A and B are shown apart, each in its own frame.
Chain A
Amino acid sequence: MTQTSEVTETAVDPGARVDDGRSARRPPRAGLLAAGLGIALVAALTAAVCLGSTDIAPGHVWSVVLQRLGGAPPRPGTDDLIVWQLRVPRALLAALAGAGLGLVGTATQAMVRNPLADPYLLGISNGASLGAVAAIVLGASAGDLLGLGLSAAAFAGALASFALVWCFARRGGGFSPLRLVLAGVGIGQFLSGFTSYLVLQAGDEQQTRSVLFWLMGSLGGATWSVLWLPAAAVGAGLLALQARARAMNALLMGDETAAGVGVDVTRLRRELFVVTGLLTGVLVAVSGAIGFVGLMVPHLCRLVIGGDHRRLLPLSALTGALLLVVVDVVCRTAMDSQELPVGVVTAMIGAPVLLFLLDRRMEAGR
């Protein structure tokens, strides 16, 4: 320390000037990281559109995309169909779902003050799954529903479970972490019981397959008409959470500390529950219950840039987007004959990563 004289001066007045460069983890590092992740995301999106059953050169991909963005009419041929109608929406949906899951995971972990919490802990995804499975099994054939109809049923299910969890979580003291988790887990298990029952009732093998595929997460439903909803939800969610980033920081230290720095804790938790619940509902509706991203991404980001939500939220969104775009490429290209569900690959990557993190945490805590 070189500022000894200044330190003595300020022993009584905390407002006094001390130029303590070491005390701040400077934002530029986070800015640099964000820029790097942004570039990587663009590269991954490009690769996602290039790779597939037929590979297309990056230059050609970008020329099609730029032409379309410029408003030009589509060039005749299959490239436009593959690039613009199939792969670009799918890559964008992967990015949006990943970004959304990263945000929701970060917010849920702060809301229940547990770094191992998962967005699906609050039961929303179980409701969405029940809605989707009910639509597939009870409704018309799966083929008709793979568009918006399935998403609508899933979102309706998400809203219903959100309302149920809300009613239980608000009782007695109101939205304490324990009540939120108990209500979420309890109602989630209750709903997934119905889901399992319906899966057993599925008429034919094709139905069962599409149900299972959906439950494990799928980006196959991506079309331009589906994209606006998750795009709007992720954008609004990021803004709403970023506005509360400081209060979320205070929440990490405890409810009393947060109250002491002027945070209305019950109200904040209620708001966070609304934001995460709705965003989770939208994400699950369009892409199924993709596991582990919401748990893993905030963790990874915290290890790299620390726990301050003002940086953690945008970086979790970027990292989640990048991760899911890459995972989806793997899902589409790993096997020649068939596509892997996204959730299978995120679990196969996510579970070992989680175990590694837990192990590290225990080592550190010893």
Chain B
Amino acid sequence: MTVEIEDLHVGYAGRDVVAGVRLMAAAGEIAGLVGPNGSGKSTVLRTVYRHLRPTAGRVLLTGTDLRTLTPGQTARQVAALPQERGSDFELTVHEVVAMGRTPYKRAFAGEDRADRECVAGALAAVGMAGQGARRFSALSGGERQRVLLARAFAQDPEVLVLDEPTNHLDVRHQVELLALLRAQRRTTLISLHDLNAAASLCDRLHVLHAGRVVASGAPRTVLTPQLLAEVFGVRAAVTAHPLTGDPLIAFDHREPLPAGDG
């Protein structure tokens, strides 16, 4: 399933936060959204999982306009991992993952064997098999994030939408999470702050700046020292990673570029 976003506008309180974004993720491809804080990454993603309604423009799932689908129909095709980290309501891991079955269930339907198997399978997929009875709020940050990812897997979606999924994770957990996503081979839209992670993971990158896409393409072609200077306002060199061959961005952490160059 491909995701295409056409001329998307989203505004809060009369001000356009996203102004004419066009981007896409081809079937089975991992498309990354990168950009400085406030560039509109999260806002774009929120329209794909229908937390926000665009003021103009369309989101298409293999040609079907999202607005012609009910929220339930959308949720059977698109699963999201927002930045929310849950709350303190005594939920078990199993109960959190079982939320992914919501779009498949009628009002009074109980949990059947297929649901339980799906939840167990999703937990196994994130390396948390057999941990369903644990309390969600008692998990470590890394475990929590994996359980939330399992919740998205339990939706059995064609498309995954992830908003900064590696935030607050230590480097080992970041690598594990990204490896999991790579292994899924589902159409994925992901926003990432870590440009090196994005360069390594994504098949395609869209660079956002002030609510617009300023560059799109393979990481190697998009992430140039010039773009990093213009969009992110930093000095950086781009080389090849000595272990993997992926693009490796070496930032100059000593001084930002003088304002105005960005």
Q: Does A333 contact B (CB under 8 A)?
A: no
A144 CB-CB contact with B under 8 Å: no
Interface residue total, chain A, C-beta cutoff 8 A: 49
Contact indicator A307/B107 (Cβ below 8 Å)? no
CA distance A10 to B120 in the complex (A): 9
Pick the interface stretch among A46-54, A152-160, A220-228, A249-257. A249-257
Q: Is B262 an interface residue (CB 8 A)?
A: no
One of A12, A249, A259 near B95 (C-beta < 8 A): A249
Contact (Cβ within 8 A) B102 A23? no
A residues 182-207 touching B (CB-CB < 8 Å): none
Tell me if A246 and B102 are in contact (CB < 8 A).
yes
Residues A208-243 near B (CB distance < 8 A): 242-243
Contact at A24–B94, with CB atoms within 8 Å?
yes
Asked whether A254 and B132 contact (CB < 8 A) given A11-B125, A308-B95, the answer is no
Q: Does B54 reach chain A (CB closer than 8 Å)?
A: no
Number of A-B contacts (CB under 8 A): 176
Q: Is A115 an interface residue (CB 8 A)?
A: yes
Closest A residue by C-beta to B102: A261
Q: Total interface residues on B, using CB and 8 Å?
A: 64
Instruction: Tell me if B49 and A23 are in contact (CB < 8 A).
Output: no
Cα–Cα, bound, A16→B118 (Å)? 7
The answer on a CB contact under 8 Å between A260 and B82 is: yes
A255 to B50 Cα, complex, angstroms? 11
The answer to whether B80 has its CB under 8 Å from any CB of chain A is yes
Are A10 and B96 CB-contacts (below 8 A) given A20-B132, A262-B102? no
Q: Give Cα A100 to B49, complex, Å.
A: 35
Pair B118/A15 contact, Cβ less than 8 Å: yes
Contact A257–B84 (Cβ < 8 Å):
yes
Contacts of A249 in B (CB 8 A): 91, 95, 98-99, 102
8 A Cβ contacts from B108-152 to A: 108, 110-111, 116-125, 129-133, 150-152
A270 interface contact, C-beta 8 A: no
User: In the complex, which residues of chain B have a beta carbon less than 8 angstroms from the beta carbon of A10?
Assistant: 121, 124-125
**Is the Cβ of B75 less than 8 Å from the Cβ of A261?**
yes
Q: How far is the CA of A12 from the CA of B94 in the complex (A)?
A: 19
Interface of A, helix, strand, loop or mixed by DSSP: loop
Residues of A within 8 A of B68 (CB): none
Any B CB within 8 A of the CB of A25: yes
Q: Are A307 and B89 in contact (CB under 8 A)?
A: yes
Cβ–Cβ contact B183 & A12, under 8 A: yes
**CB-CB under 8 A for A260 and B80, given A16-B117, A18-B124, A18-B129:** yes
Contact A20 B130 (CB under 8 A): yes
Q: Collect the chain A residues with CB atoms within 8 Å of residue B95's CB.
A: 25, 249, 306-308
B residues less than 8 Å from A16 (CB atoms): 117, 121
* In the complex, chain A residues whose CB is within 8 Å of the CB of B72: 262
Per a CB cutoff under 8 Å, which of A23, A265, A307 touches B131?
A: A23
Least CB distance, A121 to chain B, in whole angstroms: 17
Among B50, B76, B105, B108, the residue within 8 A (CB) of A259 is: B50
**Chain A positions 1 through 25: 1 when the CB is less than 8 Å from some CB of chain B, otherwise 0:** 1010011001111111111101111
Beyond A11-B183, A12-B125, A249-B99, whether A23 also contacts B133 by CB under 8 A is yes
Q: Which of A10, A243, A256 has the most CB of B within 10 A?
A: A256
Does B100 interact with chain A (Cβ within 8 Å)? Answer: yes
Query: Which stretch of B153-161, B198-206, B214-222 is in the interface?
Result: B153-161
Give the distance to chain B from A1, nearest Cβ to Cβ, in Å.
Answer: 5
Give complex CA distance A257, B50 in Å: 10
A160 and B133 CA atoms in complex are apart in Å by 45
Contacts of A259 in B (CB 8 A): 49-51, 71, 80
Query: Are the C-beta atoms of A256 and B129 separated by less than 8 Å?
Result: no
State whether the Cβ of A247 lies closer than 8 Å to any Cβ in chain B: yes
Binary CB contact string for chain A from 278 to 315 against chain B (1 if under 8 A, 0 otherwise)? 00000000000000000000000011001110100000
A306 touches B71 (CB 8 A): no
Q: Which residues of B contact A260 (CB under 8 A)?
A: 49-51, 75, 78-82, 152, 161
Mark each residue of chain B from 47 to 66: 1 if its CB lies under 8 Å from any CB of chain A, else 0: 00111000000000000000
Q: Top 5 closest A-B pairs, CB basis?
A: A23-B132, A262-B75, A254-B84, A260-B80, A20-B120
A: residues with CB less than 8 A from B are 1, 3, 6-7, 10-20, 22-25, 27, 113, 115, 242-244, 246-247, 249-250, 252-257, 259-265, 302-303, 306-308, 310, 361
User: What are 15 A-B contacts defined by CB distance under 8 Å?
Assistant: A10-B124, A11-B125, A11-B183, A12-B184, A23-B116, A24-B119, A25-B94, A115-B89, A249-B102, A252-B86, A252-B87, A257-B99, A259-B51, A260-B78, A307-B95
Given contacts A15-B118, A25-B92, A254-B87, 7 further A-B contacts (CB under 8 A): A11-B183, A14-B124, A14-B153, A16-B121, A249-B102, A250-B99, A253-B86
